[in-house]
Structure 1
Amino acid sequence: MPTHTRIRMFNTKETYPNQSLDNDLCQAVVAGNTVYVRGQIGTDFDGKLIGLGDPQAQAEQAMKNIKQLLEEAGSDLSHIVKTTTYITDPRFREPVYRETGKWLKGVFPISTGLVVSGLAQPEWLVEIDVIAVIPE
């Protein structure tokens, strides 16, 4: 019996054609009643970047992705227990956190925020990963 379920598996050859990578990954993993969601950025699941140069729009798309992945895993945004948010400029904190706050109003997760020198692609301004539970 499997100990976990992988959601939306992919290979980096297809998702990052501008890089010479060949890694098998997935967007989320369900282990027991816990859902671990891979860092989500401003790119939709068709590979289109939403919000070039706009951290708020990228955060909105990341949250749309997170919502969809959690639902596919049998959970939802109200069951998020931890968020980690990476931004590439400290000035992005307010627009990004205002946006994520809209999606997580009343949820009260623990949260870590980091300013990093860059993300995997130069046009990405924000990345958000979450851990959630699946209710009994």
Structure 2
Amino acid sequence: MWVSRLGRTAVRAYQTISTPNAPSAIGPYSQAVVHQGTAYVSGCIPFDPQTMQCVEGGIEAQAERAIQNLLNVVTAAGSDKSHILKTTVFMKDMNDFAKVNAIYEKAFAPYKPARSAVEVARLPRDVLVELECIAAVPQP
């Protein structure tokens, strides 16, 4: 809750999401927040939720795990892959794009949300790939 400069009180208008089916946040943030029927999913890295360790097997294994973690958070937020509106894929090496793209296409089929893919200098815990998304949350 917060109070505006005019003295009006407002209630926090969003819900934080936390699921044991995805890695715990490794910083001061939520796995996702839902506000007015939209889920904003934080960056998902390829950690096993049980061990909090990066999966082994290179870029393919990391992409599969990161996508699964993302979809698990989307599910916990009350949505599913058919309602994902936009994803952002962060990769350490754009030379891995074709491999990540093939895994992404299979995981999201038949849906094709809007997407950005960018190469970055470094990712948390030196993983190779991270994904975030925005998803609509269907109202009952």
Check whether the contact 2:15–2:33 (CA below 8 A) recurs between aligned residues.
yes
Residue 130 in 1 paired to residue 133 in 2? yes
Equivalent positions of 1:4-23 (< 5 A) are 4-8=14-18, 23=27
**What is the match of residue 113 of structure 1?**
117
Task: For 1:120 and 1:65, locate their aligned partners in 2 and report how far apart those are by CA, in whole Å.
Answer: 15
1:66 aligned to which of 64, 70, 74: 70
Alignment RMSD (CA, Å): 1.9
> Which structure's CA Rg is the greater one?
2
How far off is 1:106 after superposition? 1.9
Task: For 1:48 and 1:121, locate their aligned partners in 2 and report how far apart those are by CA, in whole Å.
Answer: 9
Task: For 1:103 and 1:44, locate their aligned partners in 2 and report how far apart those are by CA, in whole Å.
Answer: 18
Equivalent positions of 1:32-71 (< 5 A) are 32-46=36-50, 47-51=52-56, 54-71=58-75
Task: For 1:61 and 1:35, locate their aligned partners in 2 and report how far apart those are by CA, in whole Å.
Answer: 20
TM-score (norm: length of structure 2):
0.81
How far off is 1:24 after superposition? 2.3
Q: Which runs of 5+ in 1 are unaligned?
A: 17-22
Give the counterpart letter for 2:133 in structure 1. Answer: V
Give the counterpart letter for 1:132 in structure 2. Answer: A
Task: For 1:2 and 1:71, locate their aligned partners in 2 and report how far apart those are by CA, in whole Å.
Answer: 22
TM-score (norm: length of structure 1):
0.83
Check whether the contact 1:87–1:115 (CA below 8 A) recurs between aligned residues.
yes
**What is the match of residue 99 of structure 1?**
103
Check whether the contact 1:42–1:51 (CA below 8 A) recurs between aligned residues.
no
- Size of the aligned set, in residue pairs, is 124
